[in-house]
């Protein structure tokens, strides 16, 4: 039995402590340093941005994980991305990790660092150091909310979720927090996600982890179009005493689905909080010749400004959707396509239907709906989740650093 815990988060699984404090990095005075601590070093899986410009903490974390797959702490600052900051920036990341390591009495190479915020400015290290001291002191067992608040940048809500799964071996827990709201071009808006679990996962679970990320955080982003700082990190500390291998095959399936569901729910929180967003729309491509083309088309449509402004205008402008599909590079025969808004069929075998305009209008006025493009070329399906493009997106992004 899977049970979601809406108030849960990174501290939901056993053996995780966290904190979130204000160090003055953000001018607003809001909390900006977050710490996640696993009392037992946890098996760690991470995926990082594929951008050729990578922030200092990304370079650092990748190096740590090459030498060591168990991690005890993650220190995060918001308000400054520590990207494009050269050697000084990298040294600042190292200093952050070392400070946490010493304060928590850890072995070396057991602390990861994440930063998010403005690019190209050196971290105010005096404030950061003070923040880390505070964060270590503030560590507690139930700080899921504080942690998720301290990692926010342009987010308007903090994003946290927990889940527990009853198995024959006992209760296994999963928790997570993420931040990010620049959904229009998620490529350059840092997305950070932290997932915790108290099961012991196999060392060779990297493929599973990558699959979960693809179906959650990568379904709201464009592959290869990532920011300088994007990171998704999973810590599995085994504190429940339960090993994944000890679960029955059916329970293993339930656990994998639980992880997938929790990560997708967290990802959708990012879309719902898209900068200026008023809608959450699933773009689902069905009956494509293969998965890669299905995903390519779903992602292409879901990042089209013309499609997204039409969503904001509550306009069922299927012409823009079809045109976008046609320019995605994926296979398409315009004479075979069916197109739905929820259950309303607007295009059948490439020809406009006599759709009920009232029903259609009702769909696009909803806060969440589905656009379904059936290509009738094969059996592959893929979804991308997107939000609309509104005045407020422009406002937020035009004014971000000035």
Q: Is 185 in the site for a copy of itself (CB under 8 A)?
A: yes
Shortest Å distance, C-beta 317 to a copy of itself: 5
Report residue 384: phi and psi, to 5°.
-130, 145
End-to-end CA distance of the chain: give it in Å, rounded. Answer: 50
Among 3, 7, 28, 50, binds a copy of itself (CB under 8 A): 50
d(CA 174, CA 197): 4
The site string for a copy of itself over 290-309 (x = CB under 8 A, - otherwise) reads --------------xxx--x
Report residue 206: phi and psi, to 5°.
-60, -35
Q: Is 347 in the site for a copy of itself (CB under 8 A)?
A: yes
d(CA 264, CA 143): 22
Site for a copy of itself in 229-268 (CB under 8 A): none
d(CA 343, CA 359): 9
Number of residues that bind a copy of itself (CB under 8 A): 65
Q: Is 217 in the site for a copy of itself (CB under 8 A)?
A: no
Neighbours of 398 (CB within 10 A): 9
Sole window of 112-120, 136-144, 159-167, 202-210 interacting with a copy of itself (rule: CB under 8 A): 112-120
The two structure tokens encoding residue 363: 């769909």
d(CA 320, CA 310): 8
| Residue closer to a copy of itself, measured from CB, 121 or 214 | 121
Among 329, 357, 359, 379, binds a copy of itself (CB under 8 A): 329
| Residue closer to a copy of itself, measured from CB, 196 or 324 | 324
Q: Is 319 in the site for a copy of itself (CB under 8 A)?
A: yes
Among 86, 204, 245, 354, binds a copy of itself (CB under 8 A): 86
Sole window of 19-27, 35-43, 67-75, 387-395 interacting with a copy of itself (rule: CB under 8 A): 387-395
Name the β-bridge partners of 175: 162, 196
Q: Is 315 in the site for a copy of itself (CB under 8 A)?
A: yes
Name the β-bridge partners of 388: none
d(CA 282, CA 387): 9
Neighbours of 348 (CB within 10 A): 15
Q: CA torsion sign, 177 to 182 to 184 to 188?
A: negative
d(CA 190, CA 193): 10
**171 in Cβ contact with 164 (< 8 Å):** yes
Shortest Å distance, C-beta 67 to a copy of itself: 23
Among 1, 27, 29, 52, binds a copy of itself (CB under 8 A): 52
User: Helix, strand or coil for residue 176?
Assistant: strand
Shortest Å distance, C-beta 154 to a copy of itself: 11
**181 in Cβ contact with 156 (< 8 Å):** yes
> Is 156 an active-site residue?
no
Q: Is 226 in the site for a copy of itself (CB under 8 A)?
A: yes
Instruction: Specify the residue for token string 């995926």.
Output: 47
For the chain, counts of helices (H) and of strands (E): 11, 15
Question: Could you say which of 190, 196, 197, 221 is catalytic?
Answer: 190
| Residue closer to a copy of itself, measured from CB, 149 or 154 | 154
| Nearest CA among 269, 27, 265 for reference residue 158 | 269
| Nearest CA among 232, 26, 178, 194 for reference residue 117 | 26
Among 66, 105, 204, 391, binds a copy of itself (CB under 8 A): 391
Q: Is 137 in the site for a copy of itself (CB under 8 A)?
A: no
User: Helix, strand or coil for residue 245?
Assistant: helix
Shortest Å distance, C-beta 296 to a copy of itself: 12
**162 in Cβ contact with 9 (< 8 Å):** yes
Site for a copy of itself in 141-180 (CB under 8 A): none
Sole window of 36-44, 60-68, 91-99, 314-322 interacting with a copy of itself (rule: CB under 8 A): 314-322
Among 351, 356, 357, 359, binds a copy of itself (CB under 8 A): 351
Shortest Å distance, C-beta 248 to a copy of itself: 43
| Residue closer to a copy of itself, measured from CB, 70 or 320 | 320
Active site residues: 190
- Interacting residues toward a copy of itself by CB under 8 A: 50-54, 81, 83-86, 118-121, 182, 184-185, 187-189, 224-228, 304-306, 309-310, 312-315, 317-320, 322-327, 329, 331-334, 347, 350-352, 389-391, 393-395, 397-402
């Amino acid at each position: 039995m899977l049970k979601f815990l809406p108030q849960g988060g990174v501290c939901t699984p056993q053996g995780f402590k966290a904190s979130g404090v204000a160090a003055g990095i953000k001018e607003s005075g809001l909390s900006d340093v977050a710490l996640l601590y696993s009392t037992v070093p946890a098996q760690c899986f991470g995926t990082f941005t594929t951008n050729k410009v990578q922030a200092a903490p990304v370079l650092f974390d990748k190096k740590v994980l090459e030498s060591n797959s168990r991690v005890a702490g993650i220190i995060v600052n918001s308000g400054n991305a520590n990207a494009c900051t050269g050697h000084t920036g990298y040294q600042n990341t190292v200093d952050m990790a070392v400070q946490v390591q010493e304060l928590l009495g850890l072995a070396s190479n057991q602390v990861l660092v994440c930063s998010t915020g403005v690019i190209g400015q050196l971290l105010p290290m005096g404030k950061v150091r003070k923040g880390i001291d505070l964060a270590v002191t503030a560590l507690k067992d139930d700080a899921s909310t504080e942690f998720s608040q301290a990692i926010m940048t342009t987010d308007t809500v903090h994003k946290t979720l927990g889940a527990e799964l009853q198995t024959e071996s006992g209760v296994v827990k999963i928790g997570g927090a993420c931040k990010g709201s620049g959904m229009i071009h998620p490529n350059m808006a840092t997305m950070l996600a932290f997932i915790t679990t108290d099961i012991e996962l196999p060392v060779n679970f990297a493929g599973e982890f990558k699959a979960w990320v693809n179906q959650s955080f990568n379904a709201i982003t464009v592959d290869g179009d990532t920011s300088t700082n994007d990171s998704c990190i999973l810590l599995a500390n085994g504190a429940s005493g339960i090993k994944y291998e000890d679960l029955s095959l059916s329970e293993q399936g339930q656990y994998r689905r639980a992880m997938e569901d929790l990560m997708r729910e967290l990802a959708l929180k990012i879309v719902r909080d898209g900068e200026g967003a008023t809608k959450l729309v699933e773009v689902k491509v069905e009956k494509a010749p293969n998965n890669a083309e299905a995903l390519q088309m779903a992602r292409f449509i879901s990042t089209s400004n013309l499609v997204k402004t039409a969503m904001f205008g509550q306009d069922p402008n299927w012409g823009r959707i079809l045109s976008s599909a046609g320019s995605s590079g994926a296979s398409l025969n315009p004479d075979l396509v069916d197109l739905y808004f929820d259950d309303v069929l607007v295009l059948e075998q490439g020809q406009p239907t006599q759709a009920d305009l009232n029903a259609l209008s009702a769909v696009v006025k909803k806060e969440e709906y589905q656009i379904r493009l059936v290509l009738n070329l094969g059996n592959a399906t893929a979804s991308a989740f997107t939000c609309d493009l509104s005045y407020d997106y422009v406002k937020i992004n035009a004014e971000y650093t000035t």
